[in-house]
Amino acid sequence: MDALEPTLRGEIVGAGGSGSYRQLMLPEIRATAEQLVRRIDERFPGAGLAGVCRDIVRQCDETEVSIRTLCRPNYWLRGAVVGCVLILIALVVGIVLGVAPRPEKPALGEFLQGLEAGVNDAVFIGIAIWFLTRMEAGWKRRRAMRALHALRSLAHVVDMHQLTKDPERVTGRSRQLTQSSPKRQMTPFELLRYLDYCSEMLSLISKLAALHVQHFDDAATLTAVRDIEDLTLSLSQKIWQKIMILDRMLNPGD
């Protein structure tokens, strides 16, 4: 980390302070993900789910880089935009000053033509200035969208790992098995833990997505984050339906 950015780093990753309980903390999210990796490794040695969780840990590092990029002003781009705006203004002033004044009073038609041309030029310059001033926000938005796309893909990978985890097969109540049916070596308790781990991973992915709009106020990025939150919530609800079914099978009298 650059030594010139300690304050920025504290604001991004949540280095404590009076407001530390009012925003998400990237170090805490990473610590939770690392602990979840250890829990999965201890419960299911060699399981592919632990590898997916390690990807979430790596995504924490990439998220920190993304958030630093979103929060830090791009002074080079801002300087280029200011330079372009000054050039546009200078060109307009030069054109106005270069026009020789006419001593006679212009006719109404000439006046209207000149007024229309002036309005068109003003509109064009205004659009150009607006576009230039939005360049930094657009560049940051594209950076955030790439990071959010990676998180969305990771959520689908987590869903694939729980997709074939059928409670009926684990409890022995499913008798319509075929040669292509997934082979299950888990006990009901292990399946409960496996599904719970998947739900926790989806929650971590949702929190990493939310970090991208904690310090970056952009409507398009906020919409993309909400989509990921809705996706992870929907996938987690599917998992908890399986957990509830398994719980009813194991405790029919409750």
CA angle 52, 245, 186 (to 5 degrees): 50
Q: How many residues does the chain have?
A: 254
Q: How far is CA 120 from CA 86, 97, 113, 116, 125, in A?
A: 19, 18, 11, 6, 9
Residues contacting 135, CB < 8 A, separation 6+:
77, 81
Residue 246 has pLDDT above 70, yes or no: yes
List, for residues 196-233, the tens digit of each pLDDT value. 999 999 999 999 999 988 888 888 999 999 999 999 99
Percent of all residues in the chain with a pLDDT value above 90, rounded to a whole number: 34
List, for residues 102-159, the tens digit of each pLDDT value. 555 556 565 556 556 656 666 666 676 666 666 677 778 888 899 999 999 999 999 9
- Residue 109: which H helix or E strand, with range? helix 108-133
Task: Return the closest-CA partner of residue 196 out of 56, 39, 46, 57.
Answer: 39
Residues contacting 143, CB < 8 A, separation 6+:
66, 69, 70
Residue 3 has pLDDT above 80, yes or no: no
Residue 237 has pLDDT above 60, yes or no: yes
Task: State how far Cα 136 lies from the chain centre.
Answer: 17
List, for residues 12-35, the tens digit of each pLDDT value. 445 444 456 778 889 999 999 999
- If you average pLDDT over every residue of the chain, what do you get? 77
Find out whether 32 and 59 touch, Cβ atoms under 8 Å: no
* Amino acid, res. 81: V
